[in-house]
Structure 1
Amino acid sequence: MAELSTSKSAGAPVGSCPADCKEAMRMVQDEVNKVSRLPGPIERNAAITSAYDKLARDMPENDWVRLASYVSVQGGCAMQVTQGRNLPYVPGWAEGAVPRTLSRVLVNPEKSLDALGDANLTIFSSIYPANRMVANCGYKKFKECVASGEITVNDKIVKALDKMEKGDKRGAANLIAEHEQREIVQPVYDRWKDTFADMKNAEGWIPGDQTSIPVAKTCTRDNLVPLSGDISNPQDRVNYYGKLIDEMYRIEGK
């Protein structure tokens, strides 16, 4: 795995930044809009994951983005499972037979894919733009644009980026994660409540842990980070985020 230096200040720009604040944010939003217009959730996930990967290289001090580059991969893996790809193996059955059969009986594959895609895109479109603008323009320019009212950014994201600029990388990541899980992801769960419940029910019929994920850039069920609690509960997801970021630190040696 390529090492990412995490010593760069959030205030150091790495990308192209127009002088006009609105144009600087519009340039980032155009990137998000281009992703949102891709034809399906799996294609969008690939583009989102690529964007997170590049931003993690440009902004290695951003622990939330670095973890997102792993979690988005696992989201894409889950999407593929809903479509009968990369299915988990259950001993005693033909490869993929159990999950494929259950998916037909208990889960609507199209709705499952759309629900996961909704979560992936909603998180990306809500959190990525401000972080990408800081990478492009530097924190000082970003803060000036927010203070002038020329761009509007969620206050918790602004506070998180301020923490990051002051060197509190974990505090910044935790603040973004709280905002993500409570205010961004939870409405997605509410929109797709029945679909996520069906997916959870189907997973319960498959031997082994089908809910936890690894911190990995490939589709694998090895080295899962165990989830405690209910994935539909925002506080349990926040707690799980903490376990995932600890695992990221461990595997990256940070």
Structure 2
Amino acid sequence: MTQCFKEHPIDDQRLNHNSTPVADCECKEVRLYGSKTLVTDVPILTCSCLWRTYQREAEKIVAPDGELIADPVERNRAINAAYARLWLHDRRFQWAGLAAFASKQVGCGLLHAADSIDLIRDEYESRQRLRDSRRESGILTPDRMSEQAGALRDYKEADARNPVPSVDFRSAEEDLSLVQQQFRHVHDMMAMGNTTLFLDIFPLHEFYAKRGFKEFKQCLEAREGIFGHLKWPVLWPVGEEKLRFGRRYSQILQAFEAIETGNIVDSVEYLAWHEQRNILQPAIYQDQQLVALLRGNHASYVTGLPSGVAQAIELTLTSQCQRVEDGRTIGFSNNPLADLSDINQRMPFVLRAAARFDEMLQKANRSALEQSIREIAAGSQS
């Protein structure tokens, strides 16, 4: 067991009973039906109180000061670590163990997109410095030749590091080129989907871990009702108009019922369907610009054209981003026309990863897998 959840007084209090002794409650005089009456306000522990508390705990992980952690990579690491701690806390939470690796892979994509944006900017700025130098003093001015040679060398090095073809478009009004804007869109959508999924699913695990399946089942429908409260607003980055918060999807109940009865493999599959169909599909995979960019990235990676631009769609069951050739890296598809946004193509990839994760847990290399999860829990990834 490892420290995973913050303890709260309400964790052990009885549902639908007063959470404060009546003798300690304030008694005040009010006018009721035309006469003065003494009234005691007695707080009652409700399902909504529990959901609000556990939702707030998830929010503190990604928004410790009430605002989302500004750096999506840092926020992603906090999410990865929280998933890893869930599995270390309770090995029945196998979906969370797999999610630690899947979310880590999202972080790898965020790093790739951010690095690509920076490398394109470096090439653009070095090219501008070379042009400015030549424009100011010409190409063969003796006292500027050393300086221009250095600028040319810097440009060639930056151009070699640039991961995209030289054909790019940059408007005078835009800070980012067209290709940079595409990388930025993928980056922002991945970060938003990663955060939204965490805010949906972490409180479910905390509620079940602390209150048990009976109350989980009893209270699940009440979760949706905590959204929109003026005093206790819910952090929901995807927006209610795109994806309603806290809906009682059948896969959620099926997943935790499977955990309760010891059908761990089934629980992973139910939660996988929930995350992909109910959360990520409407949150990110219906965005047509993202769909087009993901398809272009995959086709480029499979065909190698253009070379060096694309990143593989894969999941590696280690704490690092780099793929390994010992069976711990699961690829999406070798078909250049494959479409990650199509849930019927995406789910076989997700379920293959789930099966590989479960298989590794049953074998001698379980210790290596557990070590990787501990590294993720500690925030170590590269």
Query: Normalised by the shorter chain, which TM-score bucket?
Result: 0.7 to 0.9
Q: Secondary structure at the match of 1:183?
A: helix
Pairing 1:171–2:274 present: no
Contact 2:94–2:264, Cα closer than 8 Å, also in 1: yes
AA partner of residue 90 (structure 2) = M
Query: What does the per-residue CA deviation read over 1:127-177, in whole Å, with 9 as the maximum and x for residues that have no partner?
Result: 22112211233223323434xx54454332012101111111111111111
Selected match of 2:340 from 231, 234, 250: 231
Cα separation, partners in 2 of 1:245 and 1:95, compared to 1, 3 Å: farther
Counterparts of 2:111 and 2:284, CA distance in 1: 19
Selected match of 2:315 from 213, 220, 223: 213
Q: Specify every segment of 5 or more residues in structure 2 that has no aligned partner in the other structure, as ranges.
A: 14-44, 119-156, 169-176, 225-247, 301-305, 364-382
Counterparts of 2:343 and 2:12, CA distance in 1: 37
Worse-superposed segment, 44-53 or 134-143: 134-143
**Bigger relative contact order, structure 1 or 2, given CA contacts below 8 A and separation 6+?**
1
Aligned-pair CA distance for 1:65: 1.1
Q: Report matched runs for 1:18-167 at 5 Å.
A: 19=13, 20=45, 21-34=47-60, 35-36=62-63, 37-84=68-115, 97=161, 99=163, 106-108=179-181, 109-146=183-220, 150-152=222-224, 153-167=248-262
Provide the aligned C-alpha RMSD in A.
3.1
Identity of aligned residues (%): 24
Aligned-pair CA distance for 1:221: 2.3
Aligned-pair CA distance for 1:227: 1.2
TM-score if structure 1 supplies the norm length? Answer: 0.79
Which of the pair is proportionally richer in helix?
Answer: 1
AA partner of residue 200 (structure 2) = S
TM-score if structure 2 supplies the norm length? Answer: 0.54
Cα separation, partners in 2 of 1:96 and 1:62, compared to 1, 3 Å: farther
Cα separation, partners in 2 of 1:200 and 1:98, compared to 1, 3 Å: farther
Aligned-pair CA distance for 1:235: 1.5
Choose 1 or 2 for highest CA Rg. Answer: 2
AA partner of residue 172 (structure 1) = S
Counterparts of 1:55 and 1:95, CA distance in 2: 44
Q: Specify every segment of 5 or more residues in structure 1 that has no aligned partner in the other structure, as ranges.
A: 5-12, 88-92
Q: How many residues align?
A: 235
